[in-house]
């Protein structure tokens, strides 16, 4: 009887440990891609700039071409019809510094 209880205890501890391990794995997050990696993923023709069409193809603008155009115009600092990596990074870093409605974070 003592052996049965010992075996059951070992099995239960093993199951508990496996469950904890599985929960920890679910909680793991992939590291977010850098801004440069995101830019390169959008730059389909590898010309080191984003056209409006490439920009509209971004997953976060799917079904929102009007928002894509507005964001593109804000990012295109020199108004040359393309967004460079520097313009992309600068605009997104500025965006992170603002709240949801555009006000500066404290």
Q: Give a yes or no: residue 21 inside a domain.
A: yes
- Which pLDDT score, from 0 to 100, does residue 43 have? 95
| 106 falls within a domain | no
Task: Give pLDDT, residue 85.
Answer: 96
Identify the H or E element spanning 76.
none
pLDDT in tens, 52-99: 999 899 988 888 888 999 999 999 999 999 999 999 999 988 877 765
Instruction: Specify the pLDDT at position 65.
Output: 86
Is 17 part of any domain? yes
| Residue span of the structural domain in which 22 resides | 1-30
Q: What is the pLDDT of residues 7-61, one digit of tens each?
A: 344 534 444 555 555 555 666 677 888 999 999 999 999 999 999 999 899 988 8
Nearest 5 degrees, angle CA 74-CA 75-CA 77? 90
Side-chain half-sphere CA neighbours of 104 within 13 A: 1
């Amino acid at each position: 009887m003592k052996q049965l209880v010992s075996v059951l205890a070992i099995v239960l501890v093993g199951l508990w440990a496996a469950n904890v391990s599985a929960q920890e794995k679910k909680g793991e997050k992939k590291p977010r891609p850098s801004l440069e990696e995101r830019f390169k993923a959008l730059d389909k023709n590898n010309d080191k700039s984003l056209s409006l069409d490439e920009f509209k193809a971004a997953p976060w603008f799917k079904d929102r071409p009007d928002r894509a155009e507005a964001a593109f115009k804000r990012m295109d600092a020199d108004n040359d019809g393309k967004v460079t990596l520097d313009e992309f990074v600068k605009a997104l870093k500025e965006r992170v510094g603002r709240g949801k409605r555009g006000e500066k974070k404290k």
